[in-house]
């Protein structure tokens, strides 16, 4: 008799097409899905994120069982639960008399190491939900002085044929980003994404999460995420039909009280396996060819998925497990309480953190140019910032979150991902949002008690990092303009910034 094998399916691998499942034999193998505290607590996840993953896991297990597979499923509150993925595999191996494990390679180094250290024979297969492999990215990166996403994106466009006419891009341009920077109109009426009422499975999970994780940052209710493939496809359908046509124009816009705007809000479903990146991009491409969405919108959307998403995964695996500990600018300031919902006079931060607390979601510009921009200007510890982003967003898994935070947002990798730090004064926020209206601070004020903190901190950052960035070709003009200012005026700005940071450090409401 042939020994059974265990087939591990992680909570962010909920796809029938994933390599481990495709390698399984129905008559022989046992699927192992486990809700464990080690995964629920390695950072203090938002309750909505925990509920999303557990609900989707339970529904996916039902799909597997209905298809005739043997499924060993461990719920979080099962008495026999060992508390870790490794522990559950060892327990199930003993239960079923198995020595071998088939797994799809996890998206986090800590889990890869845990599988490598198991007292079982573990075969980790490539995660073929992605368009490019870590080796393919490493081959592309070899001998390059700069690993810029734009060049990698063009390679992936050619590989997939998306928006291509032979070897040339449709429309004659690879990138329409310059057309995608409009603030939202005053009469903004964005479409609302679909919401889903909890079924019996989800309701049971919500009760569990409410009991176990009541102290975690974030609001559990109302819970309206999609938790299975058919619901995730409904979210995609809605986006393609109602939001994609305006996505390009307003993808960088920010509006108080409007968390979704024209964004797809499908990243949680892509990242746990309910949607496939190629199917998503093909749907958008079809909308363009049908005349239902303009090229700037479709190209911008596809670039986020086959360009940026593939690129950051490549960076994560290229750079190795120590990537998250990098701190090129030696920033050490602890995360202030305002990141956890503490009171602040800054309306932009209050809006974005409040939205994050309520929805476990913020779009890419809110993350980059509000919370990320502030963290970089204020010199917050990038490791703490990384942990925060990994904790509070429903779509955050380390392979995608770490390069976005350590690299793109915080410049902690020294410029591997970003050619310059993504910092701005309050002017950018004023241009792209309505947050500045009614704020305690005056976005036009450069000094004084009511000066926008982004204005003060911007120049403080520029000056304290002069040695590193003065000769950066993209920043030299900034230093030339700053140095032309009156010396007393520059000192006043820096003194006010220093005073403001001292109040932040003292725990005052700022």
What is the 3 state secondary structure string of 13-37?
A: CCCCCCHHHHCCCCCCCEEEEECCH
pLDDT at position 180: 83
Q: How many CA atoms lie within 13 A of 144 on its CB side?
A: 14
Query: What count of other Cβ atoms lies within 10 Å of the Cβ of residue 464?
Result: 14
pLDDT at position 492: 96
pLDDT at position 188: 83
d(CA 47, CA 45): 6
pLDDT at position 362: 98
pLDDT at position 177: 87
pLDDT at position 342: 97
**142: Cβ contacts below 8 Å, ≥ 6 apart:** none
pLDDT at position 186: 87
Query: What count of other Cβ atoms lies within 10 Å of the Cβ of residue 136?
Result: 17
- Gyration radius of the chain over CA positions: 24
Low-confidence ranges of the chain (pLDDT < 70): none
At 452-489, the pLDDT tens digits run 999 999 999 999 999 999 999 899 999 999 999 999 99
* Residue 124 dihedral angles phi and psi, to the nearest 5°: -95, 115
DSSP notation for 311-348? HHHHHHHHH-GGGGG--TT---BPPPGGGGT---S-HH
**179: Cβ contacts below 8 Å, ≥ 6 apart:** 248, 249, 296
């Amino acid at each position: 008799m042939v020994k059974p094998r265990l087939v591990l399916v992680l909570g962010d691998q909920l796809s029938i097409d994933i390599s481990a499942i495709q390698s399984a034999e129905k008559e022989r193998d046992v699927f192992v899905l486990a809700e464990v505290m080690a995964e629920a607590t390695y950072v203090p996840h938002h309750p909505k994120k925990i509920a999303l993953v557990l609900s989707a896991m339970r529904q996916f297990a039902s799909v597997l069982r209905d298809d005739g597979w043997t499924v060993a499923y461990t719920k979080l509150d099962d008495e026999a639960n060992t508390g870790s993925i490794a522990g559950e595999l060892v327990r199930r191996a003993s239960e079923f008399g198995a020595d071998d494990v088939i797994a799809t390679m996890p998206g986090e180094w800590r889990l890869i190491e845990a599988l490598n250290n198991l007292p079982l024979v573990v075969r980790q297969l490539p995660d073929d939900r992605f368009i490019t492999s870590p080796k393919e990215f490493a081959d592309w990166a070899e001998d390059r002085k700069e690993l810029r996403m734009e060049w990698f994106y063009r390679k992936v466009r050619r590989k997939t044929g998306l928006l291509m006419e032979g070897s040339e891009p449709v429309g004659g341009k690879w990138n329409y980003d310059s057309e995608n920077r409009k603030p939202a109109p005053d009469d903004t009426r964005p479409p609302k994404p679909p919401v889903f009422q909890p079924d019996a499975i989800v309701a049971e999970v919500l009760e569990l999460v409410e009991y176990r994780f009541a102290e975690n940052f974030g609001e559990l209710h109302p819970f309206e995420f999609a938790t299975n493939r058919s619901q995730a496809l409904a979210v995609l359908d809605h986006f393609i039909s109602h939001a994609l046509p305006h996505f390009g124009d307003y993808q960088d816009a920010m509006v108080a009280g409007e968390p979704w705007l024209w964004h797809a809000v499908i990243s949680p479903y892509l990242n746990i396996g309910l949607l496939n990146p190629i199917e998503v991009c093909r749907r958008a491409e079809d909308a363009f060819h049908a005349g239902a969405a303009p090229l700037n919108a479709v190209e911008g959307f596809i670039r986020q998925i086959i360009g940026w998403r593939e690129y950051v995964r490549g960076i994560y695996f290229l750079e190795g497990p120590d990537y998250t500990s990098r701190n090129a600018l030696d920033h050490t300031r602890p995360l202030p309480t305002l990141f956890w919902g503490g009171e602040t006079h800054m309306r932009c931060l209050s809006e974005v953190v409040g939205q994050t607390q309520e929805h476990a979601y913020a779009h890419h510009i809110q993350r980059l140019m509000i919370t990320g921009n502030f963290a970089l200007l204020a010199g917050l510890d990038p490791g703490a910032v990384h942990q925060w982003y990994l904790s509070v967003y429903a779509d955050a898994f380390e392979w995608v979150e770490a390069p976005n935070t350590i690299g793109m947002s915080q410049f902690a990798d020294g410029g591997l991902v970003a050619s310059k730090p993504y910092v701005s004064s309050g002017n950018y926020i004023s241009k792209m949002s309505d947050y500045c209206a009614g704020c305690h601070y005056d976005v036009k004020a450069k000094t004084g008690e009511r000066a926008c903190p982004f204005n003060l901190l911007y120049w403080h950052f520029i000056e304290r990092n002069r040695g590193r960035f003065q000769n950066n070709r993209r920043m030299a003009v900034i230093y030339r303009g700053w140095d032309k200012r009156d010396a007393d005026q520059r000192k006043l700005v820096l003194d006010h910034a220093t005073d403001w940071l001292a109040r932040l450090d003292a725990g005052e409401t700022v």
